[in-house]
Structures are given as structure tokens and as C-alpha cells.
Amino acid sequence: MTLSDVPARNDELRDALKRAASALKAQGPEFALAGSYALWVRGGPEPVHDVDFVVAEEDADTAAKTLEEAGFRIDRPPEDWLFKACTGGVVVDVLHRLNGVPVDIATIRGADVVEVLAIAMPVLPPTQVMSEKLSSFSEHHCDFAALLPGVRAVREQVNWNQVRSATADNDFAAAFLFLTDRLGITA
């Protein structure tokens, strides 16, 4: 993807986000916008890869049915913590486990209702999104550069003490937070 492709890609992602959210609002189950788009809503950089939603683990099949009826093609990858709802060249990841922990209805109901692209929808709070993103860091996935712009953008909206507590057992998260402290972002 070249820089000139980004505006068209953003339009496709936004359209998929709106279609998926509208379908889930109308037909259920309860859901929340997650991942990088949840940060974008609060001023972070706009993602160019996919859209993430979360649903309670027990609602995953219902969510897949709703999105399939809305015209999305449903793919079930070997990873058993999500399914993919595809439209055109866009992927909407629907996660029902976050870092190995089943999503429950309390997580969904803890989201803030925010107007996103003229649709009021639940959006995971930035503290939770940052905690989940940092908890996902491992030997095989540890791209600090990709996360830094989002952290800079939403830093004042995040409870960094909660993030530190939630990620205390992840050395990669601790290293990231050390870096952002040294850069004056989270200190």
C-alpha cells in the first residue's frame, strides 16, 4: 500500500466499521469497538489494516450470524479467539477473547458510548485498549514503533497506573512503558 492508497483504504475501513456496528446495534449481540479504531475515536492515528470489535465469548456465533446476514463473509481462522467478517478487501476482526481471557458482558457494558462516524456505539476505554495492546507483546510480536503514535495521542486519557498494574507480568510491556516514561510520554 502506498501513501496515495491510504485515503481510499480509510474510506473502506470506515464503511465496514459503520456497516458492522449498524448490524450489531440492530440485531445484536452487544459489542464494543476495540483496538486501534477505539484509540482513533479518541484522537489516535487512523488504522489502515482492519477494524476490531469485541463481543462476549458466548455471543460469538450470534455476532457471526448477524454480520453474515448483513453481507459480510465470515472466516474462522485457526486462532480460536476471533472470527473475521470480510467485505471487499476489508477485514473486521471480532474478538471474543483478549490475550487468552474470555470477553464477558461486563467488559462490553464497561465501554463508553461514543458517536463514531455518526453512529453512537460502545467503545472500549483507552486504558483498557492500552492494557490489552501491551499485554499482547511477546517475543514474536513486539512492535513499539507501531504503538508509539497512538500512545502519544491518547496519553492524557489513559490511567497509566492501571495499565502498569494490568501488564506487570509482561516484561515487554514493562520495557515499552520504560521507554515511554523516558520519552516523557507516560511519566
pLDDT digits (tens, 9 = 90+) for 139-173: 999 999 999 999 999 999 999 999 999 999 999 99
- Is the predicted pLDDT of residue 3 greater than 70, yes or no? no
- Please give the pLDDT value at position 7: 76
pLDDT in tens, 61-92: 999 999 999 999 999 999 999 999 999 999 99
Average pLDDT over residues 49-72: 98
pLDDT value of position 9:
84
pLDDT, one tens digit per residue, over 78-130 is 999 999 999 999 999 999 999 999 999 999 999 999 999 999 999 999 999 99
CA atoms within 13 Å, Cβ hemisphere of 169? 3
The mean pLDDT value for 174-186 works out to 97
In this structure, how many other beta carbons lie within 10 angstroms of the beta carbon of residue 24?
25
User: Per-residue pLDDT for 5 more than 80?
Assistant: no
Q: Which of these, 76, 81, 77, 62, lies nearest to 24 by C-alpha position?
A: 62
From the candidate CATH numbers 3.30.460.40, 3.30.460.10, 3.40.50.2300, 3.30.70.100, the one assigned to the domain spanning 1-124: 3.30.460.40
CB 54 within 8 A of CB 96: yes
Q: Is the pLDDT of residue 4 over 70?
A: no
Give domain limits for the chain: 1-124, 125-187
For 50-134, strand residue ranges (E) read 50-54, 73-75, 82-87, 90-95, 97-98, 101-102, 112-116, 119-123
